[in-house]
Structure 1
Amino acid sequence: MGRQNFGGFGGGANMQQLMRQAQKMQQQMQEAQERLDEAEYEATAGGGMVSVKVSGKRELTAITIDPQVVDPDDIEMLQDLVMAAVNEALRKGEEARETAMNRMAPGMGGLF
C-alpha cells in the first residue's frame, strides 16, 4: 500500500519544514511588530504652527504649539490644528504598519 498524503503535505519531513517556516514567519512578524511599536511618527498642521509626535503604539508623546497660534478669541482654530496634526501622525503610523505587514504577506502563502 502507498504512503498517504495528508492534505498534500507529503510526509513527516515536509510537515517539519512547514512548521519551521511557520515559526520563522511568526518570529519575523513579532520582530516587525516590535519595530513598529518603537517607531515614532511626527506631523504638523498650520504650516508648522502645531507639531505632534505619536508612538507606534498609537500614543501621543509630544505636542509643540507655536505661541503665535494661541488666540484666546479663536480657541476653535487651535483645537482644529491639534486634531489635524494628531490624526495625520496616527495615519502615518497606520500606513507604516500596513506597509510592513503587506511586505510580509507574500511569504505567508495566502494566509492573509
Structure 2
Amino acid sequence: MLKGLGALGDMGKMMKAAQEMQTKMAELQDELDTIIVEGEAGAGLVRATATAKGELKSLEIDPKVFSPDDKEMAEDLILAAIKDTQARASKRAQAEMGKLAESMGLPADMKLPGL
C-alpha cells in the first residue's frame, strides 16, 4: 500500500515501532511494581523488600540488633539493608529493560527511556 511512497513508508514503520515500544514500556513499568526483590545486611539480621522500581515494601529486623549500647550499629544495618535492596531493584529493572530491548531487536544493554 505504501510501496511507492519511499521514505514515507519507512516513516510509517518507524512510527508503528515507536508506538509498540511505548506500549511495551508502559507494560514493563506496571510489571516492575509487581516484581519483589529482597536485600539484607548483617548476615540477615536486617532484611528489606522492595519492588523492582525501588519502592520499599517491608523491613524485618532481628531483635538481636537492638542493643541499647550500640544504636549506631542498628542504624547502619538498617541503612545497609535498604541500600542493598535498592541496588538489587535497580539491577532487576535493568535486566527487565534488557529483555524488552532484545525482544524488539535492540541491543540488551541499550539504555531505554523510562527508568
What TM-score bracket applies, with the shorter chain setting the length?
Answer: 0.7 to 0.9
Could you tell me how far apart the structure 1 residues matched to 2:7 and 2:40 are?
57
Query: Do the aligned partners of residues 85 and 30 (structure 1) sit closer, same or farther apart at CA in structure 2, a change above 3 Å counting?
Result: same
Write the letter of the residue equivalent to 1:29.
Answer: M
Query: Do the aligned partners of residues 52 and 90 (structure 1) sit closer, same or farther apart at CA in structure 2, a change above 3 Å counting?
Result: same
Q: Please tell me whether residue 92 in structure 1 is matched to residue 88 in structure 2.
A: yes
Unmatched 5+ residue regions in structure 2? none
For residue 38 of structure 1, give the secondary structure of its aligned residue in structure 2. coil
Q: Alignment partner for residue 99 of structure 2, among 100, 103, 109?
A: 103
Contact 2:41–2:77 under 8 Å retained in 1: yes
Could you tell me how far apart the structure 2 residues matched to 1:94 and 1:109 are?
20
Could you tell me how far apart the structure 1 residues matched to 2:10 and 2:44 are?
56
Q: How does 1:73-84 map to 2 (within 5 A)?
A: 73-84=69-80
Q: Which residue of 1 aligns with 2:55?
A: 59
How many residue pairs get aligned? The number is: 105
Shift of 1:87: 0.2
Q: How does 1:33-72 map to 2 (within 5 A)?
A: 33-72=29-68
Query: Do the aligned partners of residues 50 and 32 (structure 1) sit closer, same or farther apart at CA in structure 2, a change above 3 Å counting?
Result: same
Could you tell me how far apart the structure 2 residues matched to 1:43 and 1:69 are?
16
Unmatched 5+ residue regions in structure 1? none
Return the TM-score normalized by structure 2: 0.75
